[in-house]
Structure 1
């Protein structure tokens, strides 16, 4: 499994893990959280290695289905990107207001930048 897939699965688990069965949650925590092998988890639960593999795949499939239906992780990632963009824009406005008087942003420039920030926020609310 690639690192991006592990990160994505971990993020899905953070959002939707409580919706999994107890067994699926335990297997996911041991595999991803404790970094145990399939064999180690199988010994822990007295089941086959294949049983652990199936439980993991079922849990991962369920997490992806929850995301497909609810989209909370995607919304979270969009919000983080928007907050980063807004933060950068506000920083630029602050720096623009601190310049020598001849270079200070005009009211119309500030208004235009604030409108861009508002547009980003409005897009998030859609």
Structure 2
């Protein structure tokens, strides 16, 4: 059960990164099944495609997402970046002598809030 959940979370993350690179049919099938949690029968009725056709599109979408990650590696790079940020945050938290201004600037940078960029 846990493996299934982990796989769905992993594929959802890949979809966030690479979903725009899927075909329209793959994207629609993936969204309806994995994001909206519709059954193959429900999707089949909605799109007027056989259940087997939906299943094929879903498998192609998942295969393509994993292929794109193997080729581009954005998700693994993002994971590495997030680990590094957590490490730096831990160092900051354990360093009481740091300037509050430094800490505020660092937290602004890692928050990724574009409103804070270039506000000097």
How high is the TM-score relative to the length of structure 1?
0.73
Unaligned runs of 5+ in 2: 99-120
1:33 positional shift = 1.4
1:88-111 per-residue CA deviation (whole Å, 9 max, x = no partner) reads 0111012xx39xxxxxxxxxxxxx
Q: Matched residue pairs, number?
A: 96
Higher Cα radius of gyration: 1
- 1:1-126 maps to which residues of 2 (within 5 A)? 2-94=4-96, 97=97
Unaligned runs of 5+ in 1: 99-126
CA RMSD of aligned residues (A): 1.3
State the distance in 2 between where 1:39 and 1:4 align. Answer: 24
1:27 positional shift = 0.8
Q: Which has the higher helix share?
A: 1
1:68-101 per-residue CA deviation (whole Å, 9 max, x = no partner) reads 000000000111111011100111012xx39xxx
How high is the TM-score relative to the length of structure 2?
0.77
State the distance in 2 between where 1:65 and 1:77 align. Answer: 18
Q: Which runs of 4+ in 1 moved over 3 A?
A: none
1:23-50 per-residue CA deviation (whole Å, 9 max, x = no partner) reads 1111111111111011110111111111
